[in-house]
Amino acid sequence: MADTVLYEVSDGLATITLNRPEAMNALNTEAKVALRDAAREAADDDTVRAILLTAAGDRAFCVGQDLKEHIGLLKAQESGAGGGGVMSTVKEHYNPIVRALTGAAKPVVAAVNGIAAGAGFGFALAADYRIVADTAAFNTSFTGVALTADSGISWTLPRVVGPSRAADLLLFPRSISAQQAYEWGIANRLVPPSELRAEAEKVARALAEGPTLAYAAVKESLAYGFSHSLDEALEKEDELQTRAGASADHAIAVRAFVAKEKPTYLGR
């Protein structure tokens, strides 16, 4: 992976770190390619049982598109020297990143250390669980530069905060505090900045040691239930519960429960 994104796997936990702190972890092309590839690798690796998405530095999780690079690409496009179009980055980079994180058959934890804006906000929302420094903030940003939602926000944000608040945040972009984000369900936990990394690793490692197939089924059932009827959701629950009930981890959990022992899951 490029230095703009760091990737490490340890004891079933894949840690993906955005690593452009001097640019507030803005997404230039190199970073977007590296993040896409890291997210796909973590999602596809069966030895990875949880993913932690975090960022270097203490100012920003990710402020979205690198506008300095973006301006240069717009000028090149206007002069006829551009490639497939500046906004092809949505299809080539943002969409695959969001699909990898939301579609991973394992839990994804985001540790939000500072401002999360634009696509940075979108990637945080693509995680299943968000641990947020109490000094952080969130901003949709898009219409502030005459753009519309991308990075999955049109799908994830209304599901987290409701359609009315999502419309408000997208039409009138502004920073909302970590406390407000917690009250609206964007943040699952708030911690002091000095405790963020340790808390996020603790949560992510606990998930990496848990019943991976059950977690994957929870992700699938939640996504399915949002866009299907109750009867369809019940059928999906039956399908997923049958699958989970046949897993080795379910048998391990039941035996441990009867024996009053802590289960050691295998992730299968």
User: Could you tell me the pLDDT band of residue 87, with boundaries at 50, 70 and 90?
Assistant: confident
* Residue 104 phi, psi (nearest 5): -60, 130
CATH superfamily of 5-208: 2-enoyl-CoA Hydratase; Chain A, domain 1 (3.90.226.10)
Cα separation, 53 vs 204, in Å, equals 10
> Residue 81's pLDDT is what?
59
Nearest of 153, 160, 127, 157 to residue 50 by alpha carbon = 127
Q: What is the mean pLDDT of the chain?
A: 94
For the chain, percent of residues with pLDDT exceeding 70: 94
Q: Write the DSSP symbol of residue 90.
A: I
pLDDT of residue 9: 98
Fold (CATH) for 212-259? Lyase 2-enoyl-coa Hydratase; Chain  A, domain 2 (1.10.12)
Map tokens 């690593």 to a residue: 19
Which tokens go with 142? 């898009």
**Non-local CB neighbours of 219 within 8 Å, separated by 6+ positions:** 102, 104, 105, 107, 128
3-state secondary structure at position 16? strand
DSSP designation for 238: H
Question: How buried is residue 198: exposed, middle or buried, by Cβ count under 10 Å (0-12/13-18/19+)?
Answer: exposed
Phi, psi at 98, each rounded to 5°: -65, -40
Note the pLDDT tens digit of each residue in 145-162.
999 999 999 999 999 999
CA distance 112 to 135: 10
Which pLDDT score is estimated for 88? 85
More confident: 153 or 67: 153
Express each pLDDT in 175-218 by its tens digit. Answer: 999 999 999 999 999 999 999 999 999 999 999 999 999 999 99
**Backbone dihedral angles phi then psi of residue 123, each to the nearest 5 degrees:** -70, -35
Ranges of each domain in the chain: 5-208, 212-259
Asked if 17 contacts 54 with a C-beta cutoff of 8 angstroms, the reply is: yes
Task: List, for residues 125-144, the tens digit of each pLDDT value.
Answer: 999 999 999 999 999 999 99
